[in-house]
A and B are shown apart, each in its own frame.
Chain A
Amino acid sequence: MPPCLELIEVGKTYATREGPLTALDPTSFEILEGEFASLVGPSGCGKSTLLYMIAGLEPPSSGTIYLDGRRVLRPGRERGMVFQEYTLFPWLTVEENIRFSRRLSANRNEGDLPFDADYSGHLIEIMGLAKFSRAYPRELSGGMKQRVAIARALLNRPRLLLMDEPFGALDAQTREEMQELMRLLSQRERATILFVTHDIEESLFLSDRILVLSAHPGRIVREVSVDFPKERDLDLKLATDFLSMKRDLLHLLRSNIKPAFDPALLRSKLSTVTPLTS
């Protein structure tokens, strides 16, 4: 299969008041068509930065990004994005939010796209939003908001869907529901997805391939193929080989993170403090 997305030595350095700050070391990888790939890494390692560069929202400091062989220079409708924060348009209803892209000239007269009311209806339906299609974002729960954001991005039929920790703000239960939904969606809509998370379990459950980033500044330290069957349900998370992969990846991540404190040091310090007695 041809690569859909190709990154060659893409790095990012921010100019800050304290001088240049390298958020991401030069990084190269490819995403294949129809693939569900995950970027995993600790907080602050440059995952969002990387995704924003691919989306064209942030220029890379070095290297080049190609989508279908064309260089990425600016944002475009072929790269949809679901953001880490809630980003619905508060003045539009759920349905209007999902159909937002149709008001844009770039998406009109696109004969090859199934731009009919059916598709938005279909998305609203499978996202379980039918009852809320006329509701405003403020009336929605966090999970619903992210489902609307996903539907909004999907309606455009992007070549590549970028997702930046879309379930980060959700509670554990809703999160698992959304993971299951996302897995089903990616199968049914045959989307190519680059998914960012710091949750290893989430990435294992969802992905065909995982790219592990090291701690700040980010750099790809390992690439893992996930060969579970295409059809997955949440029970997979309890399977032995799932758990062993999870353990391996967790150890890899931990060995890459500089701990915020040294447990031994903390223990010795705490022993000199008189404990609080009730």
Chain B
Amino acid sequence: MMPERNAFAMGGALLSRFLARSRTAFGTTASRSPASETRCPDAMPAWRAIFELRRPIPRRIRLLSAWLGFGAFLLVWSIASHYFALKGDGILFPSPARVIGAAADYAGYGPRTEQRIAAARESAALAGATLHQSEAEIRAAARADLGTLWLDVKSSFLRVTVAFLLAAALGIPAGILMGSFRIFESLLQPLTEFIRYVPVPALVPVLMLFFGIGETSKVMLIFAGTFFQLALMVAGEIRRVPIDLLQVCATLGGTRLEAIRRVLLPAALPGIFDTLRICNGWAWTWVIVAEIVAADSGLGFRIVKYQRFLQTDKIFLYLIVLGLIGLLLDYFFRQVNRTFFHWTDTTKR
């Protein structure tokens, strides 16, 4: 028990030292608002400052807690996989280590590859002959999986992008029409709302009947899953533009089309771009649904295939790849938004 208690005590000491150091950082953040200046930030314990409502926290603590979140996730994952291993179903639920191993296999140096090499050596030794397959060949075969992954990423990405661009190209104009003119709103909005609530997977059978099991039906599924949402959200963004700005434009001599082009569109553009970001996320959901149903490549297809061979570690790896793709695309959209629409920055300086 003793060492553990020591560890706790040490952890506590470290934490309080850490917080004490970050207190200076708080002082500078807090002194921006006069209200907190009078309250004297130094008198407030650091842990209380962290839990102030909507108050920014120091960068160090922000990063630390982000890592903490991931750490907790890994911990829960490990515990779950241990539980499955104890039940004897370890193969069904891979531990983090096994998933890392699977990743190493993709580079040609994982446990599965080493196992294969060892087995080949053994059989070669038994037969008293040279290796049936050279070590380099086995490693190269393992690396071929990486090629498969790349192919899957490419074909999923292509499907998502084609469908998403199609949905954006039609959904943005439709949304602008619905948001700008009441007549188009009453013409299209109820219909769109209705179609939006038809669950997209329910469309799979008819889409396959209409378009076969080729690329078209997948693209159409993703399109159906994003277009209606996108149009409605764009309409919402357009409607959120204050009417005063339109009135200003009118009193300066602007025509209706100019009001759309010069006022509604630029005012709603950051919101529209954010809508695109969200819809792109949904498109990735629908591509997986489409590929699970019928495909010969793609991340969703491969996940089902690995399921048949109980290669759950590879499935987890694919899930991680999916998460990373989402994160990257999200980052890309946000970054573009920040670069082009810095005027929306509402923080006071």
Contacts and interface: CB of A to CB of B under 8 A. Distances in A.
A153 B252 CA distance: 7
Interface in B325-349: 341, 343-346, 349
A83 interface: yes
B343 A156 contact: no
A225 interface: no
Q: Which of A74, A75, A103 has the most CB of B within 10 A?
A: A75
Contacts of B249: 100, 104
A76 B253 contact: yes
A91 B343 contact: yes
A81 B247 contact: yes
Contact of B253 (A87, A89, A101): A101
B255 A105 contact: yes
A156 B251 CA distance: 10
Contacts of A57: 247, 250-251
Contacts of A107: 252-253
Contacts of B253: 76-77, 101, 104, 106-107, 156
A169 B262 CA distance: 27
A79 interface: yes
A166 B253 CA distance: 20
B250 to A, nearest CB: 4
What's the dominant secondary structure at chain B's contact region? helix
B346 A89 contact: no
Contacts of B269: 91
Nearest to B263: A89
B61 interface: no
B230 interface: no
A85 interface: yes
Contacts of A75: 247, 250-251
Contacts of A152: 248, 252
Contacts of A77: 251-253
Contacts of B244: 83, 85, 87
B123 to A, nearest CB: 70
A156 B250 CA distance: 12
Contacts of B245: 87, 89
A90 interface: yes
A103 B266 CA distance: 14
A81 B253 CA distance: 11
A50 interface: no
Contacts of B341: 91
A80 interface: yes
Given A85-B244, A104-B258, A90 B344 contact: yes
Contacts, number: 77
Contacts of A89: 245, 248, 263, 266-267
B258 A79 contact: no
A76 B249 CA distance: 10
Interface in A188-247: none
A80 B93 CA distance: 70
Interface in B251-302: 251-255, 258, 262-263, 266-267, 269
Contact of B262 (A55, A85, A90, A103): A103
Contacts of B254: 104, 106
A276 B149 CA distance: 77
A57 B255 CA distance: 13
Contacts of B343: 90-91, 136, 138
Contacts of A103: 258, 262
Contacts of A85: 244
Contacts of B248: 81, 83, 87, 89, 152
A77 B247 CA distance: 11
Nearest to B341: A91
B330 to A, nearest CB: 23
Interface string A36-66: 0000000000000000000111000000000
B345 A138 contact: yes
A156 B254 CA distance: 12
B252 A91 contact: no
Contacts of B345: 138
Nearest to A79: B251
A105 B253 CA distance: 8
A57 to B, nearest CB: 5
A104 B151 CA distance: 50
Contacts of A79: 251
B115 to A, nearest CB: 60
B253 to A, nearest CB: 3
Interface string B213-250: 00000000000000000000000000000101101111
15 contacts: A56-B251, A57-B250, A77-B253, A80-B251, A87-B244, A87-B248, A89-B263, A91-B267, A91-B269, A91-B343, A100-B262, A103-B258, A104-B254, A153-B251, A162-B251
Given A87-B244, A91-B269, 20 more contacts: A57-B250, A74-B250, A75-B250, A77-B253, A83-B244, A83-B248, A87-B245, A87-B248, A89-B248, A89-B263, A91-B266, A91-B343, A100-B249, A100-B262, A101-B252, A103-B262, A104-B253, A106-B255, A136-B343, A156-B252
Q: Which 4 A-B pairs have the closest CB atoms?
A: A77-B253, A106-B253, A75-B250, A101-B252
